[in-house]
Amino acid sequence: MRSMKVFTEEPEQELWRSLLQFSYKENIQRYFKDHQIPMSISTENGDSTIDVVANCIGGALLQAYEYYKASRNVSLQVEPVLLYYGTTNLLYAMSILLNGTLPHISNHGMHIEVNNVESFIADIALRFDHQSDGGIHRFAKDLGFHKNLCEFQPWCLSDFLDSIAEISTDFERCYPQRKSHVFLLDVVKTPEGMVEKICTEEDDILASINHIEGFSDSYLRPQSGRDRQGNEYLVLRHKMNRKDICQISYSGQPYLQVAHKRNGKLITITKDLNMYIALFVLGSLCRYHPEIWNPFVTQDSTGEKLLIEKLLYYSRRILPNIVLNRIMNQQISFVSDKYVPEDRIHLVGEHEVREIVSNEVRVQMKRELAQTVIHVKRG
DSSP string, 311-324: HHHHHHHHHHHHHH
Question: What's the whole-model pTM score?
Answer: 0.85
CB atoms within 10 A of CB 50: 15
List the beta bridge partners of residue 236: 196
Cα(293)–Cα(203) distance, integer angstroms = 35
Cα(12)–Cα(252) distance, integer angstroms = 17
Q: What count of residues does the chain have? A: 379
pLDDT, tens digit, 9 for 90 and up, residues 11-64: 999 999 999 999 999 999 999 999 999 887 655 655 668 888 999 999 999 999
Q: Does residue 219 belong to any structural domain of this protein?
A: no
Helix (H, G, I), strand (E, B) or coil at 233: strand
Residues 18-44 as b/e (b if ≥16 CB within 10 A, e otherwise) read bbeebbeeeebeebbeeeeeebeeeee
Q: Does residue 8 belong to any structural domain of this protein?
A: yes
Q: Does residue 323 belong to any structural domain of this protein?
A: yes
pLDDT at 364: 74
Q: Does residue 84 belong to any structural domain of this protein?
A: yes
Tally of domains in the chain: 1
Burial class, 200, CB count within 10 angstroms (exposed 0-12 / middle 13-18 / buried 19+): middle
User: Could you tell me if 110 and 122 are in contact, meaning their C-beta atoms sit under 8 angstroms apart?
Assistant: no
Q: Does residue 43 belong to any structural domain of this protein?
A: yes
Q: Is the pLDDT of residue 338 over 80?
A: no
Q: Does residue 237 belong to any structural domain of this protein?
A: no
Q: Does residue 234 belong to any structural domain of this protein?
A: no
Q: Does residue 242 belong to any structural domain of this protein?
A: no
What is the residue type of 192?
A: E
- Confidence tier at 348 by pLDDT (50, 70, 90): very low
What is the strand order of the sheet 223-226 is part of?
223-226, 232-236, 193-199, 182-190, 254-257, 247-248
Domain with 130 in it = 2-164+270-335
